Amino acid sequence: MRIVSGGVTDVGRVRSNNEDCFRIVEPLSLYVLSDGMGGEAHGEVASAMAVDTIVNYCSNPIRDPNDTAVIASQTGWSDKTRLLTKSVHRANKSIYEAAEANAEQHGMGATVTAAWIDGSKLSVAHVGDSRAYLLRAGSLQQLTSDHSLVAEQVRRGILTPAEAEQSEMQSVLLRALGAVPEIEVDTEEYVIFARDILMLCCDGLTRMVTEPEIAGTLQAETDPTRAAEKLIALANERGGVDNITVIVARIGAESRGWFSWLWGGGRKKAAGNGTSGGR
């Protein structure tokens, strides 16, 4: 599989600081996105720590006999899926210990959604309400489940999806990096095909832009970075009430195919993280 990817982050129209952070590691086909929370407690520190820890660990895995991170045993999981899961556990531990050691960082935390492509296999590890989507043949599938209060209420039938979209409790998370010493990480493996499109995003996008609009933009714009920019622009047009970050990766066959012309073009890779504000 050959992949063209791009990512963009934006502070939005309301926040004074961007607490989001993301990284694209093209040689590894690794994509990591984190949404920091904590405001004055340095949410931007938490998101950067999450991204750095995951990227560094996946790039240079450390075998630590004292590592107590619990990874659910799943028959058939690949080594990279296990490694990705373990890296998220490490990120949680790093953020938690930093917050405990520094009074000014007490209360900081972060979401994380990380995706790792290895041939036709996609590994996704996730904590919080940042999301991963897969667009295939015009159909958009949400790969992650939000760890939020309103999402849980929808799953239990307490709220309808429409009611959840209007709830003032949307920002209340049930699970986030840094909140507790050990965290449960949702991890899944998927088979991907040529012409699939992977998208990672924070809730600053999904609160402002509908899934049909996301699917339409990803189909209409073949350049991943421009697709991310257009989605962010749309979220800002709707008010941009939060930081907005989008990563897009388009999957193609190894041989010359339907978007081989893109290889000659520039690929914009951006990584960023800001400095104050809140979720």
CATH of 2-256, one of 3.40.50.970, 3.40.50.150, 1.10.287.70, 3.60.40.10: 3.60.40.10
Residue 258, pLDDT score: 42
More confident residue, 78 or 1: 78
* Annotated domain spans of the chain: 2-256
pLDDT tens digits for 58-100?
999 776 655 555 565 566 789 999 999 999 999 999 999 999 9
Task: Say how far apart CA 246 and CA 33 lie, in whole Å.
Answer: 8
Q: Are 91 and 112 in contact (CB under 8 A)?
A: yes
Q: Which of 182, 184, 187 is nearest to 68 (CA)?
A: 182
Q: Which of 218, 220, 217 is nearest to 249 (CA)?
A: 218
Highest mean pLDDT among 46-55, 72-81, 249-258: 46-55
pLDDT band at 40; cut points 50, 70, 90 = low
Residue 264, pLDDT score: 39
pLDDT tops 80 at residue 110: yes
Cβ-based neighbours of 276, under 8 Å, separated by 6 or more:
16, 17, 19, 39, 40, 44
Strands 20-25 and 121-127: unpaired
